[in-house]
Amino acid sequence: MAARTFSLQTLQRLPYYLDFLRGLETENISATALAAEFGLNEVQVRKDLASVSRQAGRPRKGFGRKALIVDMEDVLGYGRIDKAIIVGLGHLGTALANYRGFENYGLKIVAGFDKKFEGEGRLNDMPVYPAQALVEQVRRLKVKLGIITVDGANAQEVCDRLVEAGIKAIWNFAPLMLQVPEGIIVQNENMACALAVLSHHLRG
């Protein structure tokens, strides 16, 4: 199978489609109906579906629900498990580390790190290491995804060490843009950005 490629926007719509399809009772669903459900343009939905699934839609019936679900789960990587580590076990970090729901999204946090830890600890099932052990443990665990929940002042340094250790993707909750080399992807989660849009709309 050729290495398919998906636009950022398409990827971000998939979880919504999938969720809806899972709750659906009928056997078939048309792009038209999906579009109506989400308030999207129906051509856009068709393109999204075409990009994830090889199955052709049938006039007057639409697409097979089950096959769509399988294809989307495959693209989204649910089913397989990506291992992740989390750096920074403050309020947010701890909450994320304790959150069980990630396994439904194919994510398992296999270790946590915090500069305040000495020796080796545990947070529920998850082993916790001091920050110095970061590179060594990430390499040992062969983890490709790092979650950064340290404060802004330390985030870039943590990021650099994750990259050094071979991380390929970073989920960044610190309020700054991390600098990473080519080939590493960063997903920023910054509430100030969301608020910027909302707040401006309230004035606009």
Nearest distance in Å: CB 34, DNA: 8
- From the list 11-19, 25-33, 41-49, 128-136, the region that binds a second copy by CB under 8 A is 11-19
Nearest distance in Å: CB 56, DNA: 4
Is residue 190 at the binding interface for a second copy, with CB under 8 A as the rule? yes
Among 15, 19, 43, 166, binds DNA (CB under 7 A): 43
Considering only residues 104 to 163 of the shown chain, the ones binding a second copy according to CB under 8 A are 105-107, 144-145, 152
Among 20, 24, 37, 46, binds DNA (CB under 7 A): 46
Rank residues 83 and 115 by Cβ distance to a second copy and give the closer one: 83
Site pattern 20..39 for DNA (x: CB under 7 A): ----------xxxx------
CA dihedral 46, 49, 50, 54 (to 10 degrees): -140
**Cβ atoms 17, 33 nearer than 8 A:** no
Distance of alpha carbon 34 from alpha carbon 13, whole angstroms: 12
**Cβ atoms 65, 27 nearer than 8 A:** yes
6 Cβ neighbours under 8 A, 6+ residues apart: 14, 51, 52, 75
Is residue 76 at the binding interface for a second copy, with CB under 8 A as the rule? yes
With 0-12 / 13-18 / 19 or more C-beta atoms within 10 angstroms meaning exposed / middle / buried, residue 10 is: middle
Residues in touch with a second copy (CB under 8 A): 3, 5-6, 8, 11-12, 14-16, 19-20, 38-39, 75-77, 82, 91, 95, 102, 105-107, 144-145, 152, 168-169, 171, 175-177, 179, 185, 187, 189-204
Contact residues for DNA, defined by CB under 7 A: 7-10, 30-33, 40-44, 46-47, 49-50, 56-63
